[in-house]
Each structure stands twice: as C-alpha cells, then as structure tokens.
C-alpha cells in the first residue's frame, strides 16, 4: 500500500529553480533543524557541515542547492520568504562567514568548507545529502536525507511511512493506480475531480481546500504576470535572454491593466488565430520558467523545472477556450492535475535524477492534458487517455541541462509540454477511450522501466547530451 498523496503535496509553492535540487534540500535543512531542536540544546551547536552527493553535487551549483541549504539553515520558509531578501541573506553569510542558525543565533559558517560537493552517489537515491552538527562538548550528530523529486524529502528508514499509511486510511477513495480511480468514478457516478475533492475533505475543511487551491492559482497567475513583464538576462552564466517579455509585448499590444486579473481579462480580448494561440501558450510557459530560473516564486507542478506547463494550459483554457470560466473550473483543473501527478509518483517517479526529463515535463504534460480534458467535457476514461497520450510522447526524454542550470533546454521544454498537453486532450476527446490500446497504468509502468534502463549520464548529472555538447563558453 502506497502513501497518501494530497493535491497540495503535488502542487507546492516554493522558490526556483529546482524542486529536487532547491526546494528539497531547503526542506531537508528545515527537517534537520527540527530533529536538532527535538533532541538537543540547539544553542550548544558550534558548527554545521553539509555533504552533497550524486546529482545534488554534480548539478548543485547550477540549481542553487548551496543557496537553498543556507536559506533553510537560516530558518527561512521557501513558501513565504520575500524573494527580494534572498540575495541579501546569502551575501551576508558569504561576507561574514557566519549563519543565523534557525533564525535564532549566529555560528561560524564557511560556504567553501561547510558545504561539500561529493561526486559519489549514495545507494538509496541519486539526490542524497547529509547534515552534521558539531557541539561544544565535541560530540556530533548526523542525519541523511534524500530529495526524491517535486520537493518531497525522505529518509532511508522512512520513519513516517506508518503515519502516511494511517492518513491514507482516512481517504474514502484510496488510489494507487488509474484503474482504481476509474472504478470509483463509475461506482459513484462522479468525475475525477469530484473523487479527489472527497479525498481532500477527509484531511481538510472545504474552506481550507478552496482557499489553498485558489492561493496556488494566484501564485501561478502572478508568476506568469511577472515573467511576462520582466526583461533582461537570466542569472547563472549562460547569458540566456528572457523571451517572454518581447513575445508578450507583441501579443498584448497597447492594452491597459494594472494587476494580474485585469491582465487576464485583457488577454481574453486579443486575437485568437492558431499562431497567436501557440504563441500565447508558449509565452505563459516561458514566463513561469524564466521566473523559476531567476530564483522566483513558483508552484511545483509536479516539479520546479516543469512548473510552466500546468499554468500555461490552465491559462489557455481561461483566456482562449472559456471566457466565463472562474474559480470552479480552476479548482477542478488543479485537483485533476494533482491526482494524475500522484499516480505517476506512486507508480514511477517525478525525479529527473531518477527518470530523466520524462519524469518532469512528461508528467506535467500528462497532468495538464488530463485536467484540460475534464474541463472540456471528457469522461473519466478520456481524461486518463489524455494523460496517457501526453506521457507516451515524452517517453525516454533525457535530462541534460547545460551548466546544471534549469534553463537550456528546460525552459523551452515547458512550452513543448504545454502544447502536447492541449493536443493530447483534443485527441482523447475525439476518441472512444474503450478502443485505446495503451492504458495509463501501462504507460506509467513503461516510463519506470525506461527510467531504470536509461544511462545515468542523462539523469540530471550534466555528464551527457546537450550538457556536454554545448559548453558554457559556447553560450
């Protein structure tokens, strides 16, 4: 029996550029501090050292893993930290060689000595990191975590496994596989989003569910808005120029607006020929992932590197397909997307370090395709078919970021994932799902087998593919 996974586990608000390499280590640092507070007098700590392993080490610099760890140890929350404060906090640590541990007291901290990049892999998972605290009585305490994708962090002993299973028992409709979801839909005569909503209600009040879903959407909308109105060069050394700004200027024209919601309404008034639609969807996806690459606030969907697909497809529905759509459709979309993502996580992986980019862009495209299909009137069978089609055409996609940065080819891949999601939804809507030859569960199994067979060079290590074919100097 797998763990209970909520929509809010799959769609988490955090800071870019990577859910597994930035958000995960950040959360691991928070958990380490919590362990220390539970077992020790934290004020007796005189030093903290962090060892990074495997993919976290190989692409950690490009993914700001070291910055995330410093922010986490400083007691900052990725969901709420003012983005504009990040540079100041990091510079203070680097310049003073000290860290404000847990936002309580200062200890010495040398970035070059206390964050160690080890190229060897730990056996449990490709993204491993070990925290060690040293105390004034010469004793020490170490704890190892694994960032398994999408901001999820586990320990090898999985201490919380029983707790998670207990939570799952509260679900009226426990789901591990797509076939189980279909059975519930047929038996209860409910849509997928209605089944998901019933599960969520076993964990939270309806008011909390509704508030949090809309908060997630507002974060997505604001991210698109910021990305479309920011120009310049992305940080990291590749000198990648932001493209969403120019594309947006060409599309929006002389429209007047002063906030994201007014902006959305203005887009609804623009021309909707096929080329313009392609450009708008691409623009939305580019905008999100340019914000992500610049350490901005995004929503993991299911990861940071693939965070542009779902907002772009949902925005497409709101500004192109259905101008009357509002909060009801937004919540419906996010619940379906979250459930499809959780099925992929249980049956395969959402970690590029484990499965390549098929685990990120592929899964996000499947999530978006399914959600769009339900909004467009698809049956539960067609919704799952849409997810299957989207993933089927991402199988084997490698993760080979140049310079370890979530920029090339990551940003563009979000545009392709969004367009494929829309196409997959349309194909499913025009198909009798009972004639499908490949089920969603089968494609998830195939994805996992492909992930296991994939050469490790193509799993977020920057040791193969475009990462070695194109040097930083070429850019």
Give the pLDDT confidence of 85-136 residue by residue, as tens digits. Answer: 999 999 999 999 999 999 999 999 999 999 999 989 999 999 999 999 999 9
Does the pLDDT at position 163 exceed 60? no
pLDDT, average across residues 399-408: 92
Is the predicted pLDDT of residue 31 greater than 60, yes or no?
Answer: yes
Q: Is the pLDDT of residue 2 over 90?
A: no
Q: What is the pLDDT of residue 158?
A: 60
Highest averaged pLDDT of the listed ranges 50-64, 83-97, 164-178, 456-470: 83-97
On whether the CB atoms of residues 351 and 150 are closer than 8 A, the answer is yes
> Percent of the chain having pLDDT more than 70?
96
Measured between alpha carbons, how far is 204 from 202 in angstroms, rounded to an integer?
A: 6
Q: Average of pLDDT values for 50-66? A: 92
From residue 114, alpha-carbon distances to 22, 63, 71, 90, 94 in Å are 17, 18, 14, 14, 11
What confidence tier does 60 reach under pLDDT thresholds 50, 70, 90? confident
According to the model, what pLDDT value does residue 170 have? Answer: 81
Q: Using the predicted structure, report yes or no on whether residue 297 has a pLDDT greater than 70.
A: yes
Cβ-contact 72, 26 below 8 angstroms = yes
Q: How many residues does the chain have?
A: 475
| The two three-digit tokens of residue 9, written as one number | 């586990």
- Supply the pLDDT for residue 156: 87
- The percent of residues in the chain predicted with pLDDT above 90, rounded, is 89
Reported pTM? 0.92
CA 331/CA 122 separation, integer angstroms: 39
Torsion of the alpha carbons at 463, 465, 471 and 472, rounded to the nearest 10:
-80
Mean residue pLDDT of the chain comes to 94
**Per-residue model confidence (pLDDT) at position 168:** 46
Q: What is the pLDDT of residue 3?
A: 67
Q: Which helix (H) or strand (E) holds 154?
A: strand 152-154
Distance CA 56, CA 467 (A): 16
Dihedral sign, CA of 186, 188, 194, 197?
negative
Burial per residue of 224-262, b for 16 or more beta-carbon CB atoms within 10 angstroms, e otherwise = bbbbbebeeebbbebebebbbbebbeebbeeeeeeebee
**Nearest-angstrom CA–CA distance, 363 and 19:** 14
- Sign of the four-CA dihedral 264, 269, 273, 276: negative
Percent of the chain that is helix, strand, coil (3-state, to 5): 55, 10, 30
Average pLDDT over residues 282-304: 97
The confidence score (pLDDT) of residue 43 equals 95
Asked if the model's pLDDT at residue 159 lies above 50, the reply is: no
Segment 80-87 long-range contacts (CB within 8 Å, at least 24 positions apart):
81/15, 83/15, 83/295, 83/296, 83/297, 86/15, 86/295
């Amino acid at each position: 029996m797998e763990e209970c996974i909520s929509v809010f586990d799959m769609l988490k608000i955090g800071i870019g550029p990577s859910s597994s390499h930035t958000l995960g280590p950040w959360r691991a640092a928070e958990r380490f501090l919590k362990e220390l507070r539970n077992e020790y007098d934290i004020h007796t700590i005189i030093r903290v050292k962090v060892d990074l392993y495997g993919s976290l080490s190989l692409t950690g610099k490009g993914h700001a893993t070291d910055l995330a760890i410093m922010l986490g140890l400083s007691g900052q929350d990725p969901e709420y930290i003012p983005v504009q404060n990040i540079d100041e906090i990091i510079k203070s640590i680097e310049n003073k060689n000290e860290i404000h541990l847990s936002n309580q007291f200062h200890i010495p901290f040398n970035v070059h000595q206390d964050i160690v990049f080890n190229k060897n892999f730990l056996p449990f998972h490709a993204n491993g990191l070990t925290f060690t605290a040293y105390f004034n009585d010469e004793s020490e305490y170490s704890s190892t975590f694994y960032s398994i994708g999408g901001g999820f962090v586990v320990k090898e002993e999985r201490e919380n496994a029983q707790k998670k299973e207990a939570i799952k028992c509260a679900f009226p409709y426990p789901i591990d596989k797509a076939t189980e979801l279909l059975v519930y839909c047929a038996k209860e005569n409910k849509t997928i989003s209605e089944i998901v909503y019933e599960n969520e209600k076993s964990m939270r009040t309806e008011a909390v569910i509704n508030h949090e879903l809309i908060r997630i959407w507002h974060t997505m909308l604001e991210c698109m808005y910021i990305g479309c109105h920011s120009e310049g060069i992305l940080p990291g050394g590749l000198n990648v120029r932001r493209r969403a700004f120019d594309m947006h200027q060409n599309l929006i024209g002389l429209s007047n607006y002063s906030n994201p919601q007014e902006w959305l309404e203005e887009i609804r008034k623009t021309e909707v020929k096929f080329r313009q639609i392609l450009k708008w969807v691409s623009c939305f996806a580019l905008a999100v992932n340019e914000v992500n690459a610049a350490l901005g606030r995004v929503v993991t969907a299911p990861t940071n590197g693939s965070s542009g697909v779902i907002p772009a497809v949902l925005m497409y529905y709101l500004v192109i397909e259905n101008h009357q759509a509002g909060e009801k459709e937004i919540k419906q979309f996010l619940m379906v997307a979250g459930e499809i993502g959780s099925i992929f996580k249980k049956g395969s992986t959402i970690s590029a370090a484990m499965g390549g980019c098929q685990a990120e862009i592929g899964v996000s495209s499947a999530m978006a395709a399914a959600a769009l299909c339900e909004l467009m009137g698809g049956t539960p069978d067609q919704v799952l078919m849409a997810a299957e089609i989207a993933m089927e055409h991402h199988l084997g996609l490698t993760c080979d970021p140049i310079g370890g940065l979530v920029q090339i080819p990551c940003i563009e891949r979000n545009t392709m994932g969004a367009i494929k999601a829309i196409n997959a939804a349309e194909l499913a809507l025009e198909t009798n799902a009972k004639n499908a030859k490949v089920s969603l569960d089968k494609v998830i199994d195939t994805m996992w087998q492909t992930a296991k067979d994939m050469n490790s060079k193509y799993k977020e290590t920057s040791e193969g593919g475009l990462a070695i074919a194109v040097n930083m100097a070429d850019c």
